[in-house]
Amino acid sequence: MVEGAGFRFCILPEILQPRQTHVSSSDQSSNSASAASSPASPSTASLESDVSASSLRIATRESPLAMWQAEHVAALLSGHGTQVEIVPMVSSGDIDMSPIDGRRSVGVFTKRIQRALLQDEGDVAVHSMKDLPTEKHAELVLASCPDREIVTDCLVSPAGLSLDQLRQGAVIGTGSRRRAAQLKRVRPDLDIQPIRGNVQTRLKKMSDGQYDAIILAAAGIERLEMHDLPRVELPLDIMLPAPGQGALAIEVRRDDQAAFQQVALTSDPASMACTLAERTLLAALHGGCLAPIAALGTIETDEASGWSLNLIARVLSTDGTQQLEVQGKCEIDLDDRDPATGSVHQAAQLGLQLSQQLIEQGAKELIHDGRSE
The mark string for 204-223 relative to ligand PBG (x by CB under 6 A, - otherwise) is: ------------xx-xx---
Contact flag: residue 174 with ligand PBG (CB under 6 A): no
Q: What is the C-alpha separation between 290 and 354, in angstroms, rounded? A: 19
- Total number of residues that touch ligand PBG (CB under 6 A): 10
**CB 108 → ligand PBG: shortest distance, Å?**
9
User: Judged by CB under 6 A, which stretch of 51-59, 124-132, 156-164, 203-211 contacts ligand PBG?
Assistant: 124-132
Toward ligand PBG, which CB reaches closer, 198 or 280? 198
Active site residue 335: no
Largest CA distance in the chain: 68
Contact flag: residue 283 with ligand PBG (CB under 6 A): no
Residues near 188 by beta carbon (within 8 Å), at least 6 away in sequence: 319, 320, 321
Q: What is the C-alpha separation between 312 and 239, in angstroms, rounded? A: 12
Kindly tell me which residue out of 17, 105, 110, 128 binds ligand PBG, with binding defined by CB under 6 A: 128
Contact flag: residue 110 with ligand PBG (CB under 6 A): no
**CB 338 → ligand PBG: shortest distance, Å?**
29
Toward ligand PBG, which CB reaches closer, 50 or 212? 212
Residues near 17 by beta carbon (within 8 Å), at least 6 away in sequence: 2, 264, 267, 337, 339
Q: What is the C-alpha separation between 353 and 137, in angstroms, rounded? A: 24
**CB 290 → ligand PBG: shortest distance, Å?**
10
**CB 103 → ligand PBG: shortest distance, Å?**
15
User: Smallest Cα–Cα separation from 274: which of 312, 237, 236?
Assistant: 312
Toward ligand PBG, which CB reaches closer, 112 or 253? 112
Pairing of strands 140-144, 84-89: unpaired
- Residues 1, 254 contacting (CB under 8 angstroms): yes
Handedness of CA 326, 279, 222, 335 (dihedral sign): positive
Kindly tell me which residue out of 17, 144, 245, 280 binds ligand PBG, with binding defined by CB under 6 A: 245
Contact flag: residue 246 with ligand PBG (CB under 6 A): yes
Kindly tell me which residue out of 61, 80, 112, 130 binds ligand PBG, with binding defined by CB under 6 A: 130
User: Smallest Cα–Cα separation from 73: which of 107, 110, 123?
Assistant: 123
Q: Which of 50, 131, 153, 212 is catalytic?
A: 131
Strand order in the sheet with 293-302: 293-302, 306-316, 323-331
Residues near 92 by beta carbon (within 8 Å), at least 6 away in sequence: 108, 111, 112
Contact flag: residue 131 with ligand PBG (CB under 6 A): yes
| Catalytic residue numbers, as ranges | 131
Residues at the contact surface with ligand PBG, assessed by CB under 6 A: 128, 130-131, 199, 216-217, 219-220, 245-246
